[in-house]
Structure 1
């Protein structure tokens, strides 16, 4: 829990100082190797890897929220955040159900690999969006 809290504080500081799109890509990209590495270690040795993964995965949230607030038209901002968090918590709850069904079949290693695959896809799409929006100005004013 403390690791996630620290990640959110650092993510907030990064969101205040960096281009939000680059910060978003950076945090997801930094989380990925720790998630992949956690599959190859066992016992107590997995804790630092998952700790760094959680640090960056939760540290991404203030960056994502700042980015979202910049991209949603001001008139729709409150409704937009309502939809965002409904989807976030709804999909998150659904993911718990899926993991509970998959884990007995593919094990924790399989779950970690699926999560890493999802994260790789997210990094790829975020990288594409960064390229497509390279001339846009998205920063705090």
Structure 2
């Protein structure tokens, strides 16, 4: 993320392309690993991923030109920011943490939810297959979201777009918890588009709110809050699933985003 923000002038579009490839990998990875495990063994899945990442590391090292960390280099950094906007950044981190909790909540329980509540939709497919195929469809729909987010972030006010995207996620989470079969799949795909459209915009906002020299730290804190603290939602969601059923997890994740409307509104005020 730091590399893109420092070297790509059209940063939101760069983040969108980055997100598209990342989302594609998230969707294709489980299918590839399952196929290798079925055809060869589970060890083959790990071996392939290990070799692939070694090759990728070598290509990355050779393809990305080095830059010396000196004053002259600092002048050539794209999207330079001289001062950190701390108030806006704090509200962004709070919003991103809540979005991360919602993400972990719906992705953790989505496979089980599909397996339990799509009995009338494509009954010729086993529940186990549905638990793998339908979530993959949601992640692939995220590619559309990345494209939409990249376009919106390039054309319109990014803090306002970020708040709108947070708001759009709420009804789809609610609907996921109260529908089944084809409607459940449809609203889940819409949820994938809505959620992933935030990524190009949110990653651009970090670059805009942090000093150029501290941008890597800014992204690190963001990922810690989103994926670290956000992962607590999986445990919280498990408690809800045990007591109220898996379907109840999704409306709760929607309610969790209501405070994020306030924090995202404050980003607009402070930016």
Query: Normalising TM by the smaller chain, what interval?
Result: 0.7 to 0.9
Shift of 1:64: 0.6
- Tell me, what secondary structure is at the counterpart of 1:39? helix
Give the TM-score of the pair, scaled to structure 2: 0.46
Unaligned runs of 5+ in 2: 1-138
2:197 equivalent to 1:52: no
Structure-2 change in CA distance of 1:129 and 1:92 (3 Å)? closer
Matches of 2:235 and 2:213, distance apart in 1 = 35
Q: How does 1:3-42 map to 2 (within 5 A)?
A: 3-42=141-180
* Contact 2:175–2:187 (8 Å) recurs in 1: yes
Partner of 1:107: 245
Partner of 2:213: 75
Shift of 1:18: 1.2
Matches of 1:34 and 1:112, distance apart in 2 = 9
Return the index of the structure with the highest Cα Rg. Answer: 2
What value does the CA root-mean-square deviation take over the aligned residues?
1.7
Task: Number of aligned residue pairs: give it.
Answer: 133
2:231 equivalent to 1:66: no
Partner of 1:139: none
Q: Residue 98 of structure 1 is aligned with which of 236, 260, 271?
A: 236
* Contact 2:170–2:255 (8 Å) recurs in 1: no
Matches of 2:240 and 2:169, distance apart in 1 = 23
Shift of 1:36: 1.7
Deviations 1:3-47 (A, max 9, x none): 012111211121111111011011112222222222222222211
Deviations 1:88-121 (A, max 9, x none): 2212333223322331112223211210111122
Matches of 2:182 and 2:151, distance apart in 1 = 30
* Contact 2:241–2:249 (8 Å) recurs in 1: yes
Unaligned runs of 5+ in 1: 137-141
